[in-house]
Chains A and B, each alone.
Chain A
């Protein structure tokens, strides 16, 4: 079966005054429908730039992005806008990714205004349905973001992505700012939505533990390049690269004795 998304030898360069920054360098991976590709790496490793390129928000210097068999590397702006219905992002910060001055209903309606010609009543039904899918209720439509907790706001951000009925959601550090118990709730929600709706996720995180929990395949990035990629279970149990091993060793375990023993291993 063809993958839903194929990224092939992708390169992104930024031209600065005198120098050139290679933010993404020859990155390839595939995302199959209904599965999750985890992209893990430290800050500056090019994760955000990579997702920007996939979403068409960052100009691609070389390589290809193929979505549903269509080469969208240099899609026209009009085609791009159509594609945004299929490719939806969810960002890290549930506090600033929602416009504080607009009600939840207004925010969630925006994708529908752009991508559809639904009448107001039908838009409202869709928005309410999306809110219910993420465990909120239609009663929340007229409230402002500040009236919600961090976890609820992230649910709203996920609902906003769902409204357009996308096939692929790019989650850029989507659970990184959340409390443990809330993180668990959001991860449960994402896994459930994936099972119910057959969603494909591109899951960006600096947290290898989160990636291990949600990803079928994992891409480890460093300085714009892929360090290693493969089935998640293999990568977290027997990493091929020294760098991945170091990442694994740096993760903390919630067990004082084990953690004390591990501490010495990190260089």
Chain B
């Protein structure tokens, strides 16, 4: 689909350019060859596009005219790129005097009206096409400079560029190897759009009788002529105008296609901000919990299992931790609960119940409408999760206003109230701030406010304090604790920090290799873990270690999704592994106050083996 959007206009353009290039071979007639016996002839076998007022073959004139017009546009484009890219890179890469000077010059150039500059150049240089097109390239290059400068600055901030600098690489090397490849997209897009503009400007000048003069054909003066003949020969304008429009359109389409292809996709659509959702009602039926996952299995591409047979439930007001190493399926489980699985990943079996209603069975549109109202989502990275180009107030208002029938004043009051509820101290200031103007802790409060905006029953938070300072983390955890208690909110907290589990959670669900390996109340979990994985992970915690000592680790790595052993998936890394562990898949078994997936739980409890 996307490829066609690029291929078709690109193919048309290539054909036009080739035809123009080989005009002397392809043109059926000489462009200046008159035939006063056949003026303004309609399209015919002899003259496919008809003839003009002097009986010249229009097709031939268009082919030859294209040589002037397209080479003019090419000159302007060359100047535009040759000037814009290096200056933009330079400005973006070396903040300081060079940046300021280049930006200032670009701003100055931008302030001058292009048309007047071109008219002056035409007058001074006596209709010299080349000089005019160079001037067009120079004036246009300001936009290229700005775009490249911005893109370069963005890439320059990336840690990998910073580390390249740390390695002592010279700037030229970094620019060429690390920066240029990442700004190629915007450069290409900018260049194609300018090419379209250049074709149009070139023809407009010809149309106004400026630049290359008749009888030598250019697309511009052909359009000019054809307009004078619109009464007797309307097809003339249709054809000449059509060619110019077609070329400009195709160049633009190529630019669009490239932009779409290079644009980055958002990672996880934030369910707390559904697009203009209407209120939905979920049919409720009594059930064990406000959120329940029942035998949820999630696959990638229909074959590779990412999460298998996960079941657990959250009661209202309860905070449950979802724990495990990276790659064990915590986030995928959370996404399944949110109904927001990434592309190519789907729930192949199992049920997700919110208030007893099976939300997984809903169409994705219906589910999206419910999200935000039933489940709020708090992301890990507070600042990047907010849109940098809008104030906190407008982002909150956007969500709040999805509730119908609120006046603007009510929306504003609701936003302020939300921020007060997440204990933002200076509400008016924060409402008026852009995300980069507030601290990470404040941004996380804003994210929680956004998640709470539609008064959900459930909050799913994926590592909500990982990116925060300890003192701020303590505050955010306190806030979540209060919200859960006061508003009877069920909170599913994805975390890899045992400290967070100990601080906030009542129960923990431990995941390993895509499945639940233990569910226990935290007091039991910390004191007497029922699964060797839980115990190993607890021991890897450096809190309580002897300084400078080698810490206990878990040998090996988490197996890749689907590359799991037939028997116990933890067997390769487990100190207690025995033959019986590998013989068959291990089912979840009841423990005194939870479940665990280990055939040797008893041994674990008995022997304090390492």
What A residues does B543 contact at CB under 8 A?
209, 251, 253-254
- The smallest C-beta distance from A158 to any residue of chain B, in angstroms, reads 12
Q: Are B167 and A254 in contact (CB under 8 A)?
A: no
Which of B167, B473, B547, B548 has the most C-beta atoms of chain A within 10 angstroms of its own C-beta? B167
Binary interface profile of B, 530-558, with partner A (CB < 8 Å = 1, else 0)? 00000011101111110110111110011
- The smallest C-beta distance from A94 to any residue of chain B, in angstroms, reads 10
Q: Are A42 and B470 in contact (CB under 8 A)?
A: yes
B554, closest chain A residue (CB): A181
Q: Are B470 and A251 in contact (CB under 8 A)?
A: yes
Q: Are B167 and A183 in contact (CB under 8 A)?
A: no
A229 at the interface (CB under 8 A from B): no
Q: Are A111 and B540 in contact (CB under 8 A)?
A: no
Q: Are A254 and B526 in contact (CB under 8 A)?
A: yes
Which of A42, A88, A254, A266 has the most C-beta atoms of chain B within 10 angstroms of its own C-beta? A254
Main SS class of interface, A? helix
A207 to B543: give the CA distance in the assembly, Å. Answer: 11
Q: Are A110 and B164 in contact (CB under 8 A)?
A: yes
Q: A89-B163, A181-B553, A182-B325 are in contact. Are A213 and B474 (CB under 8 A)?
A: no
B573, closest chain A residue (CB): A181
A251 to B477: give the CA distance in the assembly, Å. Answer: 12
B160 at the interface (CB under 8 A from A): yes
What A residues does B499 contact at CB under 8 A?
251-254, 259
Interface size on B, residues (CB 8 A): 56
Q: Are A254 and B502 in contact (CB under 8 A)?
A: yes
Other-chain contact of A101, B181, B469, B526, B545 (Cβ < 8 Å)? B181
B500 at the interface (CB under 8 A from A): yes
Interface size on A, residues (CB 8 A): 66
B551, closest chain A residue (CB): A184
Binary interface profile of A, 174-194, with partner B (CB < 8 Å = 1, else 0)? 000001111111011001100
What B residues does A20 contact at CB under 8 A?
none
A206 at the interface (CB under 8 A from B): yes
A136 to B542: give the CA distance in the assembly, Å. Answer: 24
Q: Are A187 and B159 in contact (CB under 8 A)?
A: no
Q: Are B553 and A43 in contact (CB under 8 A)?
A: no
Q: A110-B167, A111-B168, A254-B526 are in contact. Are A213 and B542 (CB under 8 A)?
A: yes
What B residues does A232 contact at CB under 8 A?
547
Q: A180-B541, A253-B502 are in contact. Are A97 and B536 (CB under 8 A)?
A: no
A50 at the interface (CB under 8 A from B): no
Q: Are A257 and B168 in contact (CB under 8 A)?
A: no
A100 to B159: give the CA distance in the assembly, Å. Answer: 12
Q: Name A residues whose Cβ lies closer than 8 Å to a Cβ of B.
A: 42-44, 55, 57, 80-81, 84-85, 88-89, 91-93, 96-102, 110-111, 114-115, 149-151, 157, 160, 164, 179-185, 187-188, 191-192, 206-210, 212-214, 232-233, 246-247, 250-259, 263, 266
Given contacts A149-B557, A187-B542, A192-B550, 6 further A-B contacts (CB under 8 A): A98-B160, A149-B326, A179-B326, A209-B542, A253-B543, A254-B526
